[in-house]
Structure 1
Amino acid sequence: MNSDWPPIISPMLARLGSENDLSKPHYIWEPKLDGTRAIVYKKGERIKILNRRKKWIEHRYPELSGIHRNILADPCILDCEIVVLDKNNKPDFQLLQLREQQEHPLKIELLSKMYPAVIFAFDVLLANEEDMTNKPLRERKQKLSEIVKESERLRLCMYTEDGRRLWESVKAMGLEGVMGKKLESTYQQGKRSEDWIKVKTFKTMDCVILGYTPGEGERKDYFGALAIGAYDREKLIFLGKVGTGFDEETIRYLTSELKKIEVPEKPVEEEPPYEVRWVRPEFVCEVRFLEVTDDLKLRAPVFLRLRRDKSPEECIFETQK
């Protein structure tokens, strides 16, 4: 580990798998939680939280400041997911988005009471100065269970070796999917490893917002659809447009923000057969779709949400299709 504290850590990532992977031997399986990936640092009574975009976000979650009491190692670094649970105890990403976009101290304080967050810990990278990243996952899970005392705000992510059974459960509950992890895998910082697999209950892709089409009718003052793309061998490619799935707040917000970053030149080689007002590739959105067509377009795309926790460079076409 880096001698500087806190060290900036890029989390280990998973490759996209399929239902065929659910029977792999020597893997454990966790529910894929619909939240924000977070590296949590504890030193003394201090808690720091780093998201995937390398931004410190602990100020947005004042209700999590006391979890140092439930982490029985010092110093300690955990890999976690931050979620906001709905009344049925299911992760609600829309509520989490309200928390993620706030910077005003009074609004942060109010939302922390209305929609308090919970941290689910699933891995440990450092415990009492001991670097855990080169140890196998089975040892890291054992250590995690020893040093995390569960509370209302800090919980351990459940896991099982029965991937098929967990898969059926998450589908029935309407959850996002499952994560499979090889028991002997080390923690490979910043790497999209073959040792970790994500299996989704439906196809989604994180896309870069490249621009927008002008709105018509009731949407004449707003955008009509978003032009979307992803990186393929470090080059942006055009994946089509998505025009459904937006709520009114998102339409207003994106219209305002995208107008601020319009650019004259298109960021992709392809020329769409319709007018697009291009923007700097700064925003990421998650899109649900049926399939990728032969000409590399998303068929029947539906906007799911903005992903403020992800950078455009993470939208890699090959790892998501």
Structure 2
Amino acid sequence: GMADKMVIRALARSTGKTVDEVTAAFKKTGDIGQVAQELSHKSHVSDKSDISHVFEKLQAITRAGGAGSVEIKIDLLSELLKDSDPLSAKYIARTPVDKLRLGFSDMTMLEALSWMIDGTKQHKPVIEAAYNIRPDLGFIAGSVKKEGIRGVGHVKPVVGTPILCMRAERLTSAEDILDKGGGNVAVEPKLDGFRLQLHFARGPLAKSRGPLIKLFSRGLELVTDMYPDIIEAAKLEIGVKEVVLDGEAIGFNPKTGKYLPFQETVQRKRKYDIATFAKDVPLKLVVFDCLYLDGESFIDKPYTFRREKVEKLLTKGKTIIPAEMKVVSRPDELTRLFEHTISSGLEGIMAKRLDGAYQAGARGWNWIKLKGSYTGKLNDTVDAVVMGLDYGQGKRNKFGVGAFLIGVYDQKSDTYKTVSKVGTGLTDVEWKTLADSGKQIAVSEKPKNYDVNKIMNCDIWLKPKLVGEFRADELTKSPMHTAGFALRFPRLVQWREKKPEDTTSLKEIGEMVKLQKS
């Protein structure tokens, strides 16, 4: 795993260009592979590599860790690019940033494995079920090649390899939830943090200096180094040999014990200043499922069985704790729990079927979520000014825009204060309109009356002339946005013919927050 900036530095070293020159080329194309191909071609780099050499170098990049590892990774990649022809450089540069763009997905590979068995796709469901539990294409392909469909018929979780997360369906009424849940359901609070899967092992899998502990995000990204407080807690609070737990990490206030809004919790998702933010925004890992314990898979076990294991496992912890849970059988009970959860500042509830298995990688009715946003938590829209643009990558590159910063006017200070950075929810036509309009009102530097946190700086600044109407799930407290609040999941409703000073004001934002709470 390498960031775009690291690959840019490696390209600069391998081609003799400056970092600024490579960065400029990347901003034009949005494709680091295309930049590598063009610069390598211009540098007349000859092919000295074979596939085994490339694989060995990439493995070395993967293994590099600890102090000085960034420079080691850049040097290794630079050497590899020097030894590669332009076309090879294209795909080598894309590999560390996980953007090969070959036009097919893991699901395509799984279907191909089915065709390999007997020329049909009938085996894909079984192969996919195995992949959801152990998403390692190399292992799955090797098992199918060696033993056919029998090779993946009884795949179990492995500590250290993430399991694809189960996802919930949505409903909007207590009656419907109970009906889908079989008459009675387990209700847990839906926390507004980020999903974490904890893998823990002592013994042969463990390191000599302590247990093996890995944390994976919802997207299966290894994020262990981001959360040292959870790692230390796992060493003290988990007393079994091997376990895989599913939960939600959320910030909390040590003085009040209350959970923090998402906009504060999200500050912990970082690669730098980790220790500082671990102190400023401490986390709890709220565990709601046990998927594997001491050699036994619990994925096909009912919820009640898995929940019992969670409660027995986590009895003394202060950082890694079981999710609150109550079994209900009446609509009024479920509604009261939902209203209590919302009034406590949480996102909503999760209702879980008592006999339901864990459906790895799937969205199923064994879990049903009810969120405040579904019940109209923020009923009004916000008119906001587009303050700046970020360059697009991939498909967005054709528009030249991948995200944009929006803000509202504060009459008291005569400044524009930010409320969100929007990167989704627009049609191709709307992205093109934004890009075309942005070209007409772009300025060389940030306007003096823009109050923007440096973490929200944009690639292109605009005059305050383009106004959009936005709908969002809710307004949440945000230390990153200068309005003090942020739009959660903003969606463009339409572009508005409106003067920037006539948009939603900072004062109105405050009033909307009060209405939202009531």
SS where residue 164 of structure 1 aligns? Answer: helix
2:258 to 90, 99, 108: 90
Structure 2 residue 316 is matched with structure 1 residue 158: no
1:26 matched to 2:184? The reply is yes
With CA pairs under 8 Å and 6+ residues apart, which has the higher RCO, 1 or 2?
Answer: 1
Give the Cα separation in 1 of the matches to 2:185 and 2:368.
Answer: 10
Decide which structure has the larger Cα Rg and report it. Answer: 2
Equivalent position of 2:473 in the other structure: 288
Correspondence 1:17-96 to 2 at 5 A: 17-20=171-174, 21-24=176-179, 25-44=183-202, 45-66=211-232, 67-86=234-253, 87-92=255-260, 93-96=262-265
Letter in 1 for 2:239: L
The alignment status of 1:185 with 2:356, answered yes or no, reads: yes
Structure 1 partner of 2:338: 167
Q: 1:53 Cα deviation (Å)?
A: 2.1
| Structure 1 position 197, deviation (Å) | 0.6
SS in 2 for 1:49: strand
2:279 maps to what in 1?
113
- Aligned residue for 1:264? none
CA offset at residue 54 of structure 1? 1.8
Give, as a single letter, the amino acid of the residue that structure 2 aligns with 1:287. Answer: A
Q: In the alignment, which of 132, 136, 160 is matched to residue 6 of structure 1?
A: 160
Q: Distance in 2 between matches of 1:29 and 1:99?
A: 27
Paired residue for 2:295, among 113, 129, 154?
129
1:115-264 matches, within 5 Å, as: 115-162=281-328, 163-203=334-374, 210-212=402-404, 226=422, 228-229=424-425, 248-249=452-453, 252-256=454-458, 259=460
| Partner-residue secondary structure (3-state), 1:10 | coil
Give 1:305 deviation, angstroms: 6.7
Q: What displacement does 1:255 show?
A: 4.1
Q: 3-state DSSP class of the match of 2:216? A: strand
Query: Contact between 2:302 and 2:354, CA under 8 Å: does it hold in 1?
Result: yes
Which stretch of the first structure deviates more once superposed, 177-186 or 70-79?
70-79
* Structure 1 residues 167-204: Cα deviation after superposition (integer angstroms, max 9, x where no partner): 12112213210000101111111111121111012248
Aligned AA (1:40): L
Structure 2 CA distance, aligned partners of 1:23 and 1:172? 22
SS of aligned partner of 2:257: coil
- Structure 1 gaps of 5+ residues are 242-246, 261-273, 277-285, 291-301, 307-321
Compared with structure 1, are the counterparts of its residues 237 and 116 closer, same or farther at alpha carbon in structure 2 (3 Å cutoff)? Answer: farther
Q: What's the CA shift string for 1:40-67, capped at 9, x where partnerless? A: 1001222211001221222111111221
Q: Which one of 285, 304, 318 corresponds to residue 488 of structure 2? A: 304
Partners of 1:215 and 1:153 lie apart in 2 by 36
Q: Deviations over 1:96-121 (max 9, x none)?
A: 122113x22xx211222222111111
Q: Please tell me whether the aligned partners of residues 405 and 418 of structure 2 are also in contact (alpha carbons under 8 angstroms).
A: no
Change beyond 3 A, Cα 1:236–1:49: farther
- What SS class does the counterpart of residue 229 from structure 1 fall into? coil
Tell me how far 1:253 sits from its aligned partner.
Answer: 3.3
Between the aligned partners of 2:248 and 2:200, the Cα distance in structure 1 is 16
Letter in structure 2 aligned against 1:55: E
Structure 1 residues 47 and 305: alpha-carbon distance in aligned structure 2, compared to 1, 3 A threshold: farther
Residue identity opposite 2:200 in structure 1 = K
In 1, Cα distance between the equivalents of 2:406 and 2:339? 42
Distance 2:187 2:327 in 1: 6
Q: What amino acid sits opposite 2:373 in the alignment? A: F
Q: Is the 8 A contact 1:22 1:164 kept in 2?
A: no
Instruction: Report the CA distance shift for 1:56/1:227 in structure 2 as closer, same or farther (over 3 A).
Output: closer
Cα 1:216–1:52, aligned 2, differ >3 Å: closer, same or farther?
A: closer
2:153 is matched with none
Residues 11 and 212 from structure 1, CA distance in 2 versus in 1: closer, same or farther, beyond 3 angstroms? same
CA distance 1:22–1:150, change in 2 (3 Å): farther
What residue is the counterpart of 2:438 in the other structure? Answer: none
| SS of match in other structure, 1:76 | strand
Distance 1:135 1:169, change over 3 A: same
Deviation at 1:289, TM superposition (A): 6.6
Percent of aligned positions that are identical: 23
In the other structure, the counterpart of 2:512 is: none
Q: Is the 8 A contact 2:406 2:422 kept in 1?
A: no
Is the contact between residue 288 and residue 303 of structure 1 (CA under 8 Å) also seen in structure 2? Answer: yes
Which one-letter code corresponds to 1:69 in the other structure? L
SS of aligned partner of 2:263: helix
Asked if 2 retains the 8 angstrom alpha-carbon contact of 1:76 and 1:128, the reply is yes
1:131-153 residue CA offsets vs partner (Å, 9 max, x unmatched): 00011111111122222233121
Are the counterparts in 2 of residues 214 and 220 from structure 1 also a CA contact under 8 Å? no
Q: CA deviation at 1:16?
A: 1.4
The letter for the 2-side match of 1:79 is D
| Contact persistence 1:120–1:154 (CA under 8 A) | yes
Tell me the matched-pair count: 257
8 Å contact from structure 1 (residues 17, 199) kept in 2: yes
- Could you tell me whether the CA contact under 8 Å between 1:118 and 1:153 is conserved in 2? yes
